[in-house]
Amino acid sequence: MTKASYVRDQMLPPQAPPVSEAGVVKWLRENLFSGWFNTILTLVGVVVIYWLVASALPWWLNSVWNAESLGQCREIVAATAGEGATGACWAMIRERWHQFIFGFYPPDLWWRPIMAFGLLFVALAPVLFSGQRRNLTAILGAAFAFLLVTLYLAGAPMAAWVLVLALILGLAGLAQAMPGKLLWFTAIYPALCFWLLWGGSIWSPVAAMLGFVVMGVAYVALVGRMGPTASAIAGVVLAALWWLILDVPVANAIQSAIPFGLQPVASDQFGGFLLAITIGVTAITFSLPIGILLALGRQSDMLIVKTLCVGFIEFIRGVPLITLLFTASLLLQYFLPPGTNFDIILRVIILVTLFAAAYLAEVIRGGLAALPRGQYEAADALGLDYWRAQRLIILPQALKISIPAIVSTFIGLFKDTTLVAFVGLMDPLKGVTQIVRADIDWKGIYWEPYIFVGVIFFVICFGMSRYSMYLERKLKTDHR
């Protein structure tokens, strides 16, 4: 045995990983060049991106913001970037943006839709972020800041400032003291929004809202004696009587006693995103409850109710929205009593609401069907009646399951508001763009208006889909 045995008494320092297994190179190898097929895909992707950038980038870089007409735009591009260069002509947007946003709404009244838009978020906040004081305050602050800036830009009159300050301060105080009570503002917001947008006497929306008060009072007064179903029916009947008989005279009487109102704006002056958002938001708000009722009706044990709901849903889902819009513009005059003629925007809103409600009903039915049978049986075992079981046990879970689909129905609805162009309303996409393109100054412009409108639609719809993801995460209770 020799003594010269070699024993290592200290560890070698760890070697750095091979170049191909670390950092950027590893990422590139794994994600872009992991095999011959992937390499080809990557190369094709790079070529596509290069082609897109090479054809679009000069166009973006040569954008012209100040010009009188498309011809002038092209001259400026030719002068700065050389003959044959292409350039975007955003001067058109600069000159016509107000038509894309407001249509032909009178410029000195722009503060009204702006205010309705800002307050929309205040009204939505308690629904979207129920009871979260921090989020509520943040939204109130943001809406306030938005209103300050835009109202200043729109040159709002003194009365508007007073109204906004009073509303925002009052609501901010309410949000601090009792965030739950902010829902009351959401309840009166539709009337306020209607009054701001269309103008006229303030007493007609107030009188219309009083119908709901009549319904509520009747229900509360009768529910102790007659039970929920009968008193609900009584409340609806009384409210209907109010709307049919007393509503208009009462509104007129108060108006003649205390005249207070805004300058009326006719429906044909609405246009652009003002129109799209008005129709979209109203239809979204009203289609959800109708959709829930239709879904419950379709799941119901009562044969006649079920048949009617199925018939309605399948009919609406089987025909294109355009035919329904044409029904609104051409056929309602046949179906309503002779001499009735009501606002085209209102007619369109009703039809769009019914359309969305049928789709929502199917989506919610999916959620109802996905609930395990045990949930229904547990609700029965607790002795809950039908409406309590639905409200406390079934619907909260069914709606949670169907949130993604509900939101994508809403997104579809908002995109479909562009179809009102076919019944003569001025939507931002076809109506306004056509007007702009018909102008001799901007004849032949096509990328810019579509990109402008498309980007706004994208931002709104993408925002909605992100919010639905947030909601899904927030409401997720299982641990999968």
Partner 1 sequence: MALASDVPKESFRLSMLIYDTRYRSITIQIFVLVLFGLFLAWLLNNTAQNLATRGKEFNFGFLWQRAGYDIGQQLIPYTNDSNHFRALLVGLINTLVVAIIGCVLATVIGVFVGVMRLSKNWLVGRLMTVYVEMFRNVPLLLWILLSYVILSETTPQPRDFRLTDEMAAAGEAPAASMILFDTVAVTNRGTNVPSPLFDRSLGTLDLGGMSISLTLLAYIAVIAGSVWVNRRILAAARAQQEATGDRPVTWWKSLAVLFVPVIALSAALGLHLEIPELRGFNFQGGILVAHSFTALVIALALYTAAFIAEIVRAGILAISRGQSEAAFALGLRPGRTMNLIILPQALRVIIPPLISQYLNLTKNTSLGIAVSYLDLRGTLGGITLNQTGRELECMLLMMLIYLTISLIISAVMNLYNKSVQIKAR
| Residues in contact with partner 1 by the rule CB under 8 A | 30-32, 34, 38, 41-42, 44-46, 48-49, 227, 229-230, 301-305, 308, 315, 317-323, 326-327, 330-331, 333-338, 411, 415-416, 418-419, 421-422, 429-430, 433, 444, 446, 450, 453-454, 457-458, 461-462, 465
* Cβ proximity to partner 1, 156 vs 411, nearer residue: 411
Shortest reach from residue 340's CB to partner 1, in Å: 9
* Cβ proximity to partner 1, 21 vs 30, nearer residue: 30
Beta-carbon contacts of residue 418 (< 8 Å; ≥ 6 apart): 276, 427, 428, 429, 430
* Cβ proximity to partner 1, 101 vs 119, nearer residue: 101
Query: Which amino acid is residue 54, in one-letter code?
Result: A
Q: How far apart are CA 293 and CA 236, in angstroms?
A: 16
* Cβ proximity to partner 1, 193 vs 321, nearer residue: 321
Q: How far apart are CA 369 and CA 207, in angstroms?
A: 41
Q: Which of 456, 457, 449 is nearest to 70 (CA)?
A: 449
* Cβ proximity to partner 1, 226 vs 471, nearer residue: 226
Shortest reach from residue 138's CB to partner 1, in Å: 25
Tell the residue number behind the tokens 């102790």, with chain if given: 224
Shortest reach from residue 405's CB to partner 1, in Å: 10
Shortest reach from residue 331's CB to partner 1, in Å: 6
* Cβ proximity to partner 1, 98 vs 317, nearer residue: 317
Which residues on adjacent β-strands are paired with residue 89? 64
Going by the DSSP 8-state scheme, the letter that residue 271 receives in this structure is: -
Phi-psi region of 343 (alpha: psi -120 to 50; beta: other; left: phi over 0): beta
* Cβ proximity to partner 1, 116 vs 453, nearer residue: 453
- Concatenate the DSSP letters of all residues of 418-458 into one string: GGGGGGT---IIIIIHHHHHHSGGGTT--HHHHHHHHHHHH
Q: Which of 374, 323, 329, 369 is nearest to 348 (CA)?
A: 329
SS3 sequence, 293-310? Answer: HHHHHHHCCCHHHHHHHH
Q: Are 261 and 202 in contact (CB under 8 A)?
A: yes
Shortest reach from residue 237's CB to partner 1, in Å: 12
Shortest reach from residue 226's CB to partner 1, in Å: 8
Shortest reach from residue 33's CB to partner 1, in Å: 9
* Cβ proximity to partner 1, 175 vs 324, nearer residue: 324
Shortest reach from residue 41's CB to partner 1, in Å: 5
Three-class secondary structure of residue 478 per DSSP: coil
